[in-house]
Structure 1
Amino acid sequence: MSFVDRFLGFFEKRISPFPEEPPSRPPGKLVPFLWHYTRDSWVWLLLMGLLSALISVLEISLFSFLGNLVDWLGNRDPATLLSEESGRLAWMALVILVLLPLASFTHSLLLHQTIIGNFVMSVRWKAHRWMLGQSYSFYQDEFAGRVATKVMQTSLAIRDAVLKILDVLVYVGVYFIGAMVLVSSFSVWMMLPFIIWLVLYVLMLRNFMPRLKQISRSQADARSEMTGRVVDSYTNIMTVKLFAHAGHEASYARSSMQTFLGTVHPQFRMVTGLDICLNTLNALLLFSVGSAGLLLWVNGQTGVGALAVGVGLVLRLQGMSNWIMWELSGLFESVGIIYDGMQMLSTRQEIVDKPEADDLDVPAGRIQFEAVGFHYGRDAGIIEALNLDIRGGEKIGLVGRSGAGKTTLTNLLLRLYEVESGRILIDGMDITSVRQESLRQHIGVVTQDTSLLHRSVYENIAYGRRDASRDEVEAAARRANAHDFILDLEDTSGRKGYEAQVGERGVKLSGGQRQRLAIARMFLKDAPILVLDEATSALDSEVEAVIQENLSALMDGKTVIAIAHRLSTIAAMDRLIVMDAGAVVQEGSHTELSTGEGLYAQLWARQSGGFLDLPEVSAEGDNIS
Structure 2
Amino acid sequence: MFAWFERRIDPYPDQTPTMPPSGLWRFVLHYSRGTLPWLVLLAVGSGLIALIEVALFGWLGQLIDQLADTPREVFWDRHGGSIALMALVLLVVMPALNVVTSLVLHQSLMGNFPQRIRWQAHRWLLRQSVGYFQDEFAGRIAQRLMQTALAVREVSMKIMDVGSYVLIYFLGAMVLAASQDWRLALPFLVWAAAYGALLWYVVPRLGRVAQEQADARSAMTGRIVDSYTNIATVKLFSHSDREEAWMHQGMHRFLGTVHAQMRLSSLQDMVLNLLNVWLVAAVAGLGLWLWTQGLIAVGAVAIAVPLALRLNNMSHWIMWEFAALFENIGTVRDGITSLSLPREVRDAPGAQPLLPGPAAVRFDNVTFRYGGAAGAQPMAVLDDLTLHLRPGERVGLVGRSGAGKSTLINLLLRFHDIDAGRITIDGQDIAQVTQDSLRAAIGVVTQDSSLLHRSVRENIAYGRPDATSDQIDHALRMAEADGFVPSLSDSQGRQGLDAHVGERGVKLSGGQRQRIAIARVALKNAPILILDEATSALDSEVEAAIQSRLEALMQGKTVIAIAHRLSTIAAMDRLVVMDQGRIVEQGSHAELLERDGLYARLWHRQSGGFLAAD
TM-score by length of 1: 0.96
After TM superposition, the structure 1 = structure 2 runs for residues 80-479 of structure 1, keeping only pairs within 5 Å, are: 80-377=74-371, 378-379=376-377, 382-479=381-478
Mapped to 2, the partners of 1:270 and 1:464 lie a distance apart of: 54
Identical amino acids, percent of aligned pairs: 54
Structure 1: 5+ residue stretches without partners: 1-6, 617-625
Mapped to 2, the partners of 1:392 and 1:362 lie a distance apart of: 12
Shift of 1:349: 1.0
Shift of 1:379: 4.0
CA deviation map 1:275-329 (0-9, x unaligned)? 0000000000000111112122222222222222212111211111100111111
Q: Which runs of 4+ in 1 moved over 3 A?
A: 378-381
Mapped to 2, the partners of 1:466 and 1:32 lie a distance apart of: 38
Q: Does 1:491 align with 2:517?
A: no
Q: Does 1:589 align with 2:583?
A: no
SS at match of 1:515: helix
Q: Which residue of 1 aligns with 2:575?
A: 576
Amino acid at match of 1:364: P
Q: Which residue of 2 aligns with 1:510?
A: 509
Structure 2: 5+ residue stretches without partners: none
Mapped to 2, the partners of 1:132 and 1:494 lie a distance apart of: 32
1:370 and 1:387 in contact (8 A); partners too: yes
Mapped to 1, the partners of 2:341 and 2:370 lie a distance apart of: 19
After TM superposition, the structure 1 = structure 2 runs for residues 546-625 of structure 1, keeping only pairs within 5 Å, are: 546-614=545-613
Mapped to 1, the partners of 2:546 and 2:299 lie a distance apart of: 92
SS at match of 1:387: strand
CA deviation map 1:176-212 (0-9, x unaligned)? 1111111111111211111110000001111111211
Mapped to 1, the partners of 2:471 and 2:310 lie a distance apart of: 69
User: Cα RMSD between the aligned structures?
Assistant: 1.3
Shift of 1:474: 2.5
Shift of 1:363: 1.1
CA deviation map 1:540-576 (0-9, x unaligned)? 2222222222221121111111111111211211111
Between 272-281 and 245-254, the greater mean CA deviation after superposition: 245-254
CA deviation map 1:382-407 (0-9, x unaligned)? 21000000001111111111111111
Mapped to 1, the partners of 2:118 and 2:78 lie a distance apart of: 58
Amino acid at match of 1:245: H
SS at match of 2:423: strand
Q: Which residue of 2 aligns with 1:622?
A: none
Mapped to 1, the partners of 2:337 and 2:539 lie a distance apart of: 47
Change (3 A) 1:470 1:84: farther
CA deviation map 1:76-124 (0-9, x unaligned)? 2222222211221121111111111111100011111111111111111
Q: Which residue of 2 aligns with 1:26?
A: 20
Amino acid at match of 2:324: G
1:362 and 1:426 in contact (8 A); partners too: no
1:450 and 1:514 in contact (8 A); partners too: yes
Q: Which residue of 1 aligns with 2:534?
A: 535
Shift of 1:222: 1.2
CA deviation map 1:484-529 (0-9, x unaligned)? 3111111112121112111111111110111011111101111000
Mapped to 2, the partners of 1:591 and 1:361 lie a distance apart of: 36
TM-score by length of 2: 0.97
SS at match of 1:595: helix
Shift of 1:532: 0.6
Q: Does 1:57 align with 2:57?
A: no
